[in-house]
Amino acid sequence: MLYSNKMRRHFFNQAMPKARLKRTCISKTAIQKAKSLALGLLLSLAGSFANAAEQQATQLNNSTKKTNELNSVETRKVIQKALSAFYTPGMSVGVVHKGEVVFIEGLGQRDIEKKLNVDTKTYFRLASTSKAFTASAMGILVEQGELNWDDKVTKYLPDFEMQDAWVTREFSIKDLLVHHSGLVGGAGDSMIWPEPSGFSRSEVIHNLRYLSPHSSFRSEYAYSNILYITAGQLIAKVSGLSYGDFIANNIFKPLDMDCFAGDVPNSKLKNTAMSYAHNDELGIYAVPRNRIQSEQQMSVAAGGIVCNVDGMSKWIKALLTPETLPFSVNTLDTLWSPHTILGISDSEEEWDGTLFKTYGYGWRIADMLGYKLISHTGTLSGYQAYVALIPELELGVVVLNNGSNYGARSSVMQHILKSFVPEQRMPDSTPDDWVKAFVKMQKMQEAKYLKNYEAVAAPSLPMILSKEAIIGRYQDSWFGNLRIFAKDDAIRIESERMITLKGTVHSFEGNRFKVEWDNKNAASDAFLIVETNLKNEVTGMKMHPFVSKAKTRHEYRDMHFIKQVDLAPCSSSYIGC
């Protein structure tokens, strides 16, 4: 039996209780007595605390001195093992420690068909690790006095509008970066992926007004790509440069990073990694729609920057030596300050001893075995990225690969980070083999999911509509047109905007049809739920993921397609003809 990537994906969340404060009335005399007692206690214990602190610092310094060094030979073996175990063709890894690049290599293949190998100059898409550059660019504009973190977005982008008028008025620049908009996670991603998108950035921003909130503004975490795209447009508007040029001039060039947030020169396309995915039926297969091409992706500010491990090693080296950054230490502190609470997974709690996890500006901030961990991952079909820093250890790691299984980047990252952590801090549950540990964890997660998985029940009702009855053009107010038409003895469906979103419509039961999208890697099967009037004429339709239980958070939730009357004859250039 084959299982989709969505079926294998799991998330673990831990609720954080809110503290409640109770006001009480206390007399001035009582307060003065309390102050006297407290002062005496502090004075008597000051010496003890100082001695204890000095002893603890000495112990920590001694333990830090015992930090393991990275074994390059063993690391190469772990990378090769991870590539094999998680169906990933190639990977580039860079490690910076105490101001020096102590490991930088490319292993595996960047192109399976052409048998081309990965090296340190091979380009990958950074996926969501691009967000750190967008946040940094915003910080540079703040330093330049062009804007403030608390400025309202509408001051610079008048067309910006959320569904709630109050939220629109109050939405600040920093709100764009910390994932607490009130929308569902991934809201609006249907305008971004599958690439190439038929939506412009301006249209994405305009269509925010059609996305319904799931929670109140600033109340909970919900990951957002479209708000980072909005941030990219704001950067361009304020600076007078394109997003790509601003990043290049203010970050890449000062750090001598041969990376691209705009178009990629043709000369650089010779050493790019093809994107790949895997399933049990096809094995490892290419995902050409996401491969690196000359033209930048519409989603570049959220996840489309192109770079190699050589350039990214310079980035993490500068982050660990802030005086070399093209922006101030104060800005870096702002980027690395917690704003939105995140959940903690079972593995983070068991392996890393994580007690807190938050989101800053383009970065996640957590604790790992008593150290502050700054990190971010990037996931795009065919590319995986992972950047992590432990400033106290002067350690930074970047992992880039051209597969679609997070186990490859995570196992290599854990191996490297834990190689530098003093043995005294390592929990008893620390795996000896990180690749084996992630293989085991994924099998357990899959087994748990499949145990609770409920397949869509077989049709039990007769159809009340024929497939021919739904042929026509349907329009949603923000997603645009879908056309359903007959072709080669089949009923086909196509999106006018998202040109790779094409599929075949099958009868299911009652007023429901099933859509099987051509590209399973781009979109999962869906229900078409058809609406009719009293004459049983088709008037519109909605869509829902092809699952057994109703979902409230999905990519189609804010779409409502109304059937259109085409007055003009169908031409050969029009979609569906």
pLDDT of 69 higher than 90: no
Q: 4-7 long-range contacts, Cβ below 8 Å, gap at least 24?
A: 4/520, 4/524, 5/277, 5/404, 6/524, 7/446, 7/449, 7/450, 7/453
Per-residue pLDDT reduced to its tens digit, 476-502: 999 999 999 999 999 999 999 999 999
Contact assessment for residue 199 and residue 298, using Cβ atoms and an 8 Å cutoff? yes
- 317: tokens are 């080296």
Distance CA 321, CA 394 (A): 9
Reduce the secondary structure of 314-333 to three states and give it as a string. HHHHHHHCHHHCCCCHHHHH
Q: Count H helices, E strands: the chain?
A: 13, 21
- 266: tokens are 């043709």
What is the third-level CATH fold of 467-564? Lipocalin (2.40.128)
On the CB side of 121, how many CA atoms lie within 13 Å of its CA? 7
Strands (E), 112-169: 116-117, 124-125
The DSSP symbol for 463 reads B
The single residue listed with the structure tokens 């790691």 is 397
Domain range 72-447, CATH architecture: 3-Layer(aba) Sandwich (3.40)
Q: Find the length of the chain.
A: 577
The DSSP symbol for 152 reads B
What pLDDT sits at residue 332?
Answer: 98
Contact assessment for residue 473 and residue 564, using Cβ atoms and an 8 Å cutoff? yes
- Residue percentage of the chain with pLDDT more than 70: 86
Same fold, 72-447 and 467-564: no
Per-residue pLDDT reduced to its tens digit, 210-243: 999 999 999 999 999 999 999 999 999 999 999 9
Strands (E), 442-550: 472-476, 480-487, 490-495, 502-509, 512-517, 526-532, 538-545
What pLDDT sits at residue 565?
Answer: 87
Between 251 and 12, residue with greater pLDDT: 251
- The runs of H, that is alpha helices, within 291-405 are 309-320, 329-335, 346-352
What's the whole-model pTM score?
0.86
pLDDT of 24 higher than 70: no
Q: Supply φ then ψ for residue 124, to 5 degrees.
A: -130, 160
Per-residue pLDDT reduced to its tens digit, 92-140: 999 999 999 999 999 999 999 999 999 999 999 999 999 999 999 999 9
Distance CA 55, CA 362 (A): 37
Q: Supply φ then ψ for residue 204, to 5 degrees.
A: -60, -45
Give the mean pLDDT of 419-445: 96
What pLDDT sits at residue 317?
Answer: 98
Residues 6+ apart with CB under 8 A from 296: 244, 260, 261, 262, 263, 264, 304
DSSP 355-420: --EEE-SSSEEEEETTEEEEEEEEEETTEEEEEEEEGGGTEEEEEEESSS-HHHHHHHHHHHHHHH
Contact assessment for residue 399 and residue 383, using Cβ atoms and an 8 Å cutoff? no
What pLDDT sits at residue 5?
Answer: 36
Domain ranges of the chain: 72-447, 467-564
Distance CA 276, CA 573 (A): 33
pLDDT of 56 higher than 70: no
Closest-CA residue to 90 (of 108, 105, 75): 108
